[in-house]
A and B are shown apart, each in its own frame.
Chain A
Amino acid sequence: MSALLQVEDLSVRHGQLLALSGLTLSVDAGQVVAVIGANGAGKSTLLETIAGLLPAEHGRVLLNSENVINLPAHRRLRRGIALVPEGRRLFPSLTVRENLLTGQYRRRPGPWDLAAVSELFPWLPERAGQRAAALSGGEQQAVALARALLGNPRVLLLDELSLGLAPTVIAAVYRTLPGIVTQGTAVLLVEQDVSLALRHADHVHCLLEGSIELSGPPSQLTAEQIEAAYFGVSREAT
């Protein structure tokens, strides 16, 4: 049986720069796959291309075997690909409740509704009337995650969930992941905090200059292998 999300031979350019080069990976339903790598390795580019925000130069993105590479972002969302973007990108002039309701604009049938995300983040109803811009970074991240879940995605793309957050807040946000994947959602997350990614992922890809340098389950990867792939030590040696 094929994976829920398959990325095949994906290449993306930012002007003259080849940001992703022939990248291939897959994510199964209920699986958490992490992509790690240094700044500029192409991690966010990968997620934004899968979500439909960036055009691909070459390659395919298959959702349940359907190639969605030519669909715009809003159509991919309707097919079941949701992105929690880096920096959250909530709608600052809308209240928390209104931000959450935008997540239901084109929702697919599924388990996530306002009650379910309020169970995940119990403080949400109390803050419902507050403007999103007035929330702390961690609270904004939670609202961004809840907003994406309300669309009942089949594949959830998480871009740097931990960025700019206190360790306790990061732990709280990551604690929600098991509850999400048990619903059958596939999670592809990009994370700069390698230890965090290794702790939560079933499978890890290390990206270097737009290509996958190292892949495998976290339990089978050594710290030396990851360090070498992360900084490109093996490439420099050859």
Chain B
Amino acid sequence: MIWIDAILQGVLAGGLYALFACGLSLMFGVMRVVNLAHGDFAVLAAFLAYSLISATGVSLLWAAVVTVPVFAVFGYLVQRGLINRAMTGGPLPPLLATFGLSVLIQNSLLQGYTADSRALAPGRIGTASLRLSGQISLSYLELLILGLAVLVLGGLELYLSRGRTGRMLRAASDDPEAASLVGGDPRHLYGIATALAFGTLALAGLLFAARSSVSPSSGPSELLFGFEAVVIGGLGSLWGTLLGGIALGVAQNVAGQANPAYTLLAGHLLFLLVLIVRPEGLLPRRSIA
């Protein structure tokens, strides 16, 4: 029974990993850009929500309602103002630019908030759980996070496959110059992709801080988990990202059940195993959808 519990807890943890990873997947799928500051932006969103809640006393839900759209707009501006320019120099400058942003965010958060961890109070849902048996109970917050992950990934999938602009994002992913020949401005389309990615990472950052706690230096480890989920699932594949997140969560929890010291190591080993045996990932990309 404890192994079933470990698997179920792993599936739930995978929801948060998938939510962290879907923005990475989207940016890589559309632009072939790996945002090294992805985790740091998520942490920044959590700290801004923390400040908002501290200053106004609003609930986490209302903080998310404000923070997620603000971050989406912020993402659009970061793409238009920085990453688009860096992309003209090839694949290396965007890596360097986002690495620079990562350092900048971490140090700014250290200056503004010190190195202390902060948590966002989720309310009653944070302690309530669904008891399935004497040994298995599922946290409502974790269930909510998994549900949101499925909803967000499903929504993105629908947007990319059915939406007019979503279709153009996939077109720009195939051939940005040809997309401009049918009237799409690749710089604007890339901005939209990054806006979506930043919206999802802000949501992931808030939920992460509600589930445990964040510190200014949490970003790189979240980036690592997100990146592993993306690679395990298949680069640029959204449903693959969900599967990758769940596989990562299950590997960590099952190994952690055997020996807590192996929790993180098991995830990294699964990542390496997938890279060796199936480098295209579990659900390889046909298109970004």
Which residues in A have some Cβ–Cβ distance to B below 8 Å?
51-53, 72-74, 77-78, 82-83, 85, 89-94, 98, 101-103, 105-107, 147-148, 151
- B212 CB to nearest chain A CB (Å): 38
Q: Complex Cα distance A151/B185, Å?
A: 15
- B178 CB to nearest chain A CB (Å): 4
- A131 CB to nearest chain B CB (Å): 9
Q: Which residue of B lies closest to A99 (CB)?
A: B171
Q: Complex Cα distance A82/B183, Å?
A: 9
Partner of B179, one of A82, A102, A151: A102
- Please count the residue pairs between chain A and chain B whose beta carbons lie under 8 angstroms apart in the complex: 73
Report whether B181 and A91 are in contact in the complex, using a CB–CB cutoff of 8 Å.
no
Report whether A83 and B181 are in contact in the complex, using a CB–CB cutoff of 8 Å.
yes
Partner of A102, one of B173, B182, B185, B287: B182
A102-B171, A105-B164 known; A93-B181 Cβ under 8 A: no
Chain B contact residues: over half helix, strand or loop, or mixed? helix
Report whether A105 and B168 are in contact in the complex, using a CB–CB cutoff of 8 Å.
yes
Q: Complex Cα distance A85/B167, Å?
A: 20
Which residues in B have some Cβ–Cβ distance to A below 8 Å?
164, 167-168, 170-171, 173-175, 177-185, 286-287
A72-B185, A105-B164 known; A94-B180 Cβ under 8 A: no
Q: Complex Cα distance A89/B182, Å?
A: 11
13 A-B contacts (beta carbon < 8 Å): A73-B181, A74-B181, A82-B181, A85-B178, A89-B175, A89-B177, A89-B178, A91-B178, A93-B170, A93-B286, A102-B167, A102-B171, A103-B182
A101-B167, A102-B168 known; A77-B183 Cβ under 8 A: yes
Report whether B171 and A94 are in contact in the complex, using a CB–CB cutoff of 8 Å.
yes
Report whether B178 and A151 are in contact in the complex, using a CB–CB cutoff of 8 Å.
no
Report whether B182 and A105 are in contact in the complex, using a CB–CB cutoff of 8 Å.
yes
Partner of A78, one of B173, B178, B183: B183
Report whether A73 and B180 are in contact in the complex, using a CB–CB cutoff of 8 Å.
yes
Name the B residues within 8 Å of A102 (CB-CB).
167-168, 171, 179, 182, 184
Q: Complex Cα distance A94/B287, Å?
A: 8
Q: Complex Cα distance A101/B69, Å?
A: 29
